[in-house]
Structure 1
């Protein structure tokens, strides 16, 4: 019992430390880089790709990063090419299995590219959860996010339970390098892409 209590205290101490450091890292990133340096699109909906391609038209110096399932990447590429986005500007990644891993699989790549500020594009109903995950995962890497919501038709916002669950998974990734995605039984059938 004492051992479990000690573990809980350590976990709470680490969470408190992280929640105090992340806002500082985000503030520094915003200060150092007030204008976003890239566009990050969460997959799962072709309308997000179309919106991002049109959004890019007035920001052609920026690269576009897309995190989606591997089987959607060719269709995504075709959408961007149709809107005149050169292949050299596209970074299509198919490693993610869910929203948390959309961020965790690319956080290191963003840091390697020295990105400190990115546009985040996803559907409006999905934005609250995506922004919370981005704040924790990308904020822990010193990357700030400016959100751009794609309007959807009559989709209710995701529940606070899902937001809190994925915030917990994001903190787990910071501490342990894992997101807990392997516990999702719905993903087991998609393991062999």
Structure 2
């Protein structure tokens, strides 16, 4: 009986500490985002989440209207297909950073945070498909927000339904895990993270990124 009460007391302590930690994070992130928006009211770079050629095409057109901004594409289509899209839009190769480290939406953000901080980037345009934007935004609030990086969402139109709440909640949990521990849980089955479009690409052997 004594052991039971000891375990119960320890469990309650862990729950209390966890609750306090969550509350602290939830209060700090909005503050850090507010500071970032204040210090950098206009986006300083473009971040595109890989997931289909339409995202690179849209980004190239968008970048034409923002000629001073560098572009990061996180695990998008292969470089030999992406580069011609940007070149055709008159975007110099020096502006385009094709990063291949991400394996899903959470790591789209976590893999690039050090790069953005090293360049003192505090505000990004965030480009992804409209059906993917709710999940991307939720992750960005936690991952980018915790690092003092603000973002302005820009959606690529599509005819695909918005993703399920399960996917959103799962990745919010993984993003929170990263904020607390520095680990993303990316070792989970990558097929769980495929977008509808990429599931089609994957079945055809063309998928290059789990989203």
From the superposition, tell whether residues 184 and 6 of structure 1 become closer, same or farther in structure 2 (CA, over 3 Å): farther
Q: Tell me if 1:89 matches 2:95.
A: yes
The answer (yes or no) to whether the contact 1:15–1:171 under 8 Å persists in 2 is no
Find the counterpart in structure 1 of residue 144 from structure 2: 138
Find the counterpart in structure 2 of residue 13 from structure 1: 20
Matches within 5 A, 1:3-152: 3-68=10-75, 72-152=78-158
Q: Tell me if 1:162 matches 2:148.
A: no
Q: Report the structure number with the largest CA radius of gyration.
A: 2
How far apart are 1:8 and its partner, in Å? 2.7
How far apart are 1:102 and its partner, in Å? 0.3
Q: For the residues of structure 2 that align with 1:135 and 1:32, how far apart are their CA atoms?
A: 17
Tell me the secondary structure at the aligned position of residue 181 of structure 1: coil
How far apart are 1:185 and its partner, in Å? 5.6
**Paired residues, number:** 186
How far apart are 1:15 and its partner, in Å? 1.4
Q: For the residues of structure 1 that align with 2:55 and 2:191, how far apart are their CA atoms?
A: 24
Find the counterpart in structure 1 of residue 197 from structure 2: none
TM-score, scaled relative to structure 1 = 0.91
Structure 1: which 5+ runs fail to align?
none
Q: For the residues of structure 2 that align with 1:120 and 1:176, how far apart are their CA atoms?
A: 24
TM-score, scaled relative to structure 2 = 0.83
The answer (yes or no) to whether the contact 2:104–2:190 under 8 Å persists in 1 is no
* C-alpha RMSD of the superposition: 1.6
